[in-house]
Copies of this chain bind each other. A is one copy, B any other.
Amino acid sequence: MSRGSISGARHEGRAPTLATVAHEAGVSRQTVSNALNSPHLLRPETLERVRRAVDALGYSPNRAARNLRTRSSHLLGLRVDAVVEGTANATMDRFLHSLVESSKDAGYHVLLFSSGVAAGDGAEGGLAENLAVAGYDDLLRSTAVDAFVITDTYRGNPQAGWLEERGAPFVAFGRPWDEPAANHPWVDVDGRTGVMLAVEHLVERGHERIAWVGWQKSSFIGEDRRTGWTDAMHGHGLPTSRLSARGEDSVDFGRRAALALLENESPSAFACVSDTVAMGVLHALAETGLACGRDVAVVGFDDSIAAQVVPPGLTSVRQPLEQVAVEIVNLLDRRLSHKPIDEPGRLLVPTLSVRGSS
């Protein structure tokens, strides 16, 4: 055998290609391609023969070649931002895993990237907007991903607008709070209903003076959750005045707020905007010698790991993150295959994980 033959030659150290399989099965390349992508076009007999060849050779289609031809990567981009330590909000793990799982079922993979301000790299155009969309641009232009999943849609939400502007497909985890003109698909969790569940639970346990420890007024999410508290309280004819505190999302704020409320208003229960501030409330109870769960009830929000393992167990509102991920992938899939999207937004209802703190 002089000069190894042209294309179908079975190179030992080389991965098999369509041509290899075609040769093995005695058909053409296109037929093999059809066997994989549109099996219904083939006669069962032929299909079987091709399948056997594929198995025998251990063939998987080359991703890069397919991506090049079809102009799609079947990758979903997700930006992971810096981890804020000291807050109990480790909800990302659960969401991420669900997203990966749902994506897989729909034939996609998840690509992670970061805002990527590589220490003094950001050129001169250092506007806040630029930083917010950092990383998206390059992935988009190099056709590295088909679409994005964006989170943290509160606070100005520049990514959504920016992506929408250039026609990039994406789905947001979070409502476009302050952008009524926004017209992109999104999935969110109904925080208001979640807090109402919490308050109902506390009322059932006989509590009447239920305080709210929340975030600043500028936080859309915080205010949404807060309306769950006010609405549920008023629905039961219970008072809310002087029982509300607002501040940053930190353990220390929760602690200080609880100490102040305990001194002046003697609430019997606390509904909190997050597990982080709820942990602060627990600190305050420990300091004042009150038994959490017995003397005073506490309910958090996020069902974080901390809530699950903290000594009495912290009752907390649990976001249906698995379902969120499923819906997001579903919407993305429809968007990418140009199917109609009946409703741009989906609001999912959380549940309550009851533990020792209430």
Contacts and interface: CB of A to CB of B under 8 A. Distances in A.
Contacts of A64: 64-65, 67-68, 71, 73, 143
The range of chain A's interface size is 35 or more
Q: Is the interface of A mostly helix, strand, loop or mixed?
A: mixed
Interface string A294-326: 000000000011101111100000000000000
Contact of A100 (B112, B118, B275): B112
A141 B311 contact: no
A206 interface: no
A26 interface: no
Contacts of A73: 63-64
A86 interface: yes
A195 B116 CA distance: 35
Contact of A142 (B60, B83, B141): B60
B15 A87 contact: no
Given A68-B62, A116-B104, A276 B80 contact: no
B75 A100 contact: no
A302 to B, nearest CB: 11
A49 to B, nearest CB: 20
A74 to B, nearest CB: 9
Nearest to A356: B283
Interface in A117-174: 118, 138, 141-144
A96 interface: yes
